[in-house]
A and B are shown apart, each in its own frame.
Chain A
Amino acid sequence: MDLLSFGKTGWGDELFYATLMTIAVAVTAMLIGFLFSLIFTPLKLSNNKFLNFIGNTYTTVIRGVPELLVIYLFFFGGSGAIMYVASIFGYFEYIEINAFITGSVAIGIISGAYSTEVFRGAIQSIDKGQFEAAKVLGVSKFVQFYKIILPQMLRLAIPNLSNVWQITLKDTSLISVTGLVEIMRQSYIAAGSTRDPLFFYCFAAVLYLMLTFLSMKLINRLEVKYSRGF
């Protein structure tokens, strides 16, 4: 247990902060994913063939390519792409993007593809009559979305969103390849300096299990809250 003590001799405090980093990346990525699904869900549901194509391309491509490759592309290609854009505006200095931002955006884009599918499915399974009734009652589009569609959609979407959250949480482990010190990276460092990889990787697994377990408990409470009245 000495290995896990807090302070200079143990890895307890380092792993604690690494766990916070994992949570931070996962939450940021999930929120970025929501932003993406806010853009792409309407595209996927659109009647316009071109918009539809863009929406479908996003979800198909991202869900068909390994997460690790997307992260590599962002990490190694991201600063190059930004420098290229900057050079158009006459800025030629080296730009390095923060590993936290690159990682969260990369995982966020992946998470967004999954949540887009969830939202699309949830909206499509709302009874057509609900839309028609809102129209007949002369409810504005805005109120229709916030008061009629959104509450019903959330109830349907939450169980599947909890799956997306689990995927996102586990995907954050891949960011360790960029050097961002989250659970996986910290365990790698600790395993290297103590030559005890078995212990530290098993402990990392326990940390991930704890995170998934706790978040499931939390999501179950949300689920109960949003299914009231049904």
Chain B
Amino acid sequence: MDFDLMITSLPKLLSAAVITLKLLSASLIIGLFIGFLFAVLRLNKNPFINKFAYGYSYLFRGTPLLVQIFIIYYGLGQIEWLRSTFLWVILKEPYWCAIIAFALNTGAYTSEILRSAFQTIKPGIIEAGKSLGISSKIILYKIQIPVAIRQSLPAYGNEIILMMKGTSLASTVTLMDITGVAKHIVSTTYKPLEVFLLAGGIYLFMTFIIHNLIKYLEKKYSFQ
């Protein structure tokens, strides 16, 4: 074990962790919007809208994230007319391509989590609200959504951790996140064990923090 190398690579890996966290937070925020939207579409009575939302989540959950990134980063650039639109400003950057792929991916999983949370709300709660004469809009905002959020917390916590691990794929489209930097250091020093173990340690630490944060939130918002 080359401990000197570990000490000198630590600051490099830690500054790369900032990129990992940026990728993670951006894709989670966008993914949450997409997830909410598609969860609502899934619960729609119209079979066409319903099927569309199901198709989206099936497509993104049934294929590897790596394929999704490659389609967006390598594939979309091939479409001529896309290159002349303003979208090209975004799509030529690997950073934004990665975020788009991650957001669409986590959005699909989030929509499933939220949908099942909405569907498992006990009908009694909604009926109680109705019998108290509360408008259905307020029932949605003050009863259904808070209860659904609380119920989906544990599953969503897992999804955050899965997504954090997923950001390592950004290194395959030339981004220098933790994995990308670790690989770069290995290619110049030929010491894979030390560097990858250290990078793994950083990821593990981040998992630990997220896990405890979610646990804290679950406790705070638990029904007493």
Contact = CB atoms under 8 A, between A and B. Distances in A.
Interface of A: 60-61, 63-70, 72-73, 76-77, 80-81, 166, 170-174, 176-177, 184, 187-188, 191, 195-198, 201-202, 204-205, 208-209, 212-213
Nearest to B58: A209
A72 B172 CA distance: 12
Given A63-B161, A69-B203, A205-B67, 9 more contacts: A66-B165, A67-B165, A72-B186, A77-B196, A173-B66, A174-B64, A195-B78, A201-B71, A205-B59
Interface of B: 58-59, 62-68, 70-71, 74-76, 78-79, 161, 164-169, 171-172, 179, 182-183, 186, 192-193, 196-197, 199-200, 203-204, 207-208
Nearest to A67: B165
Contacts of B182: 69, 72
A213 B58 CA distance: 10
B59 A209 contact: yes
B204 A65 contact: yes
Contacts of B75: 197-198, 201-202
A177 B66 CA distance: 11
Given A64-B203, A177-B172, A197 B64 contact: no
Q: Which 7 A-B pairs have the closest CB atoms?
A: A66-B168, A64-B207, A198-B75, A76-B192, A173-B64, A197-B74, A77-B192
Contacts of A202: 71, 75
* Chain A residues touching B, majority SS: helix
Contacts of B193: 73, 77, 80-81
B168 A69 contact: yes
B74 A191 contact: yes
Residue among A60, A66, A72, A196 with the most chain B CB within 10 A? Answer: A66
A130 B217 CA distance: 36
A208 B67 contact: yes
Contacts of A197: 70-71, 74-75, 78
A213 B204 CA distance: 32
A106 to B, nearest CB: 12
Nearest to B192: A76
Contacts of A173: 64, 66-67
Nearest to B193: A77
A198 B79 contact: yes
28 contacts: A61-B200, A64-B208, A66-B168, A66-B179, A68-B169, A68-B179, A73-B196, A76-B192, A77-B192, A173-B66, A174-B169, A176-B66, A177-B172, A184-B66, A184-B70, A191-B74, A197-B75, A198-B74, A198-B79, A201-B75, A204-B67, A204-B70, A205-B67, A208-B62, A208-B63, A209-B59, A209-B62, A212-B63
Contacts of B161: 63-64
Nearest to A84: B193
Contacts of B166: 66
Given A64-B203, A66-B165, A73-B193, A174 B63 contact: no
